[in-house]
Amino acid sequence: MTTGILALQGDFREHEEIIRRLGIPVQQVRLPKHLDTIDRLIIPGGESTTIGKLLVKYGLIEPIRRRAGRDLAVWGTCAGAILMAHQIIDGRPEGQPNLDVMDIVARRNAFGRQRDSFEADLDVPVMGEQPVPGVFIRAPGIESVGMGVDVLARLPESKIVAARQGRLLATTFHPELTGDDRFHRYFLEL
């Protein structure tokens, strides 16, 4: 089992460090041929418009779409969650490419601008009773989910911040920026 990490832009190195620490082989994904040896893919946080354009430039959108949720588990964090959504609202640049693989509606910058970034302890029942730390940096929110999508975590004001649809996982925060690897372990089990 090899985990791929989309390494076009964003905080892919932080994810790679955690996966390696868990003893799992890692492949940085920059080209379609890099997808051939992986059965899991992490799409990191970063700038969703830039990552989307680079997915197109390097011919990665269709190969990921074909496999996502089938023989390829996919986890999008922050910008990655935006790119996975069927629908993106609020501030989506005209023609922004996205993967459109998960039945969620994502709202860009749902919590405000960069200066509005924050941390919060999250209640994630599938990960036990201990709260999971969440780092929200110019974070999106998940406005709604479709049939077959499980909500894993919400903020107290009911904003959805983590969801799962089969082998697809979306978190609107950055688990890789904390010392807690439970979300990474959870993803490896999908």
Question: Three-state SS for 125?
Answer: helix
Q: What is the DSSP pairing of strand 73-77 with strand 85-89?
A: unpaired
Two structure tokens written together for 49: 């418009």
- Model's pTM, two decimal places? 0.96
Count: domains in the chain: 1
Q: Give per-residue pLDDT as tens, 121-169.
A: 999 999 999 999 999 999 999 999 999 999 999 998 779 999 999 999 9
**DSSP secondary structure, 70-97, as one string:** TTBEEEEETHHHHHHEEEEESSPPTT--
In contact, 108 and 48? CB cutoff 8 Å: yes
Q: CA dist 64 to 10, 13, 100, 111, 190, Å?
A: 18, 20, 10, 29, 17
Query: Which residue in this structure is represented by tokens 């990665």?
Result: 60
Question: Could you list the active site residues?
Answer: 78, 174, 176
Domain extent for 9: 3-188
Q: Which of 99, 93, 35 is nearest to 61 (CA)?
A: 99
Question: Three-state SS for 114?
Answer: helix
CATH number at residue 172: 3.40.50.880
Q: Give per-residue pLDDT as tens, 25-49.
A: 999 999 999 999 999 999 999 999 9
Two structure tokens written together for 28: 């940085």
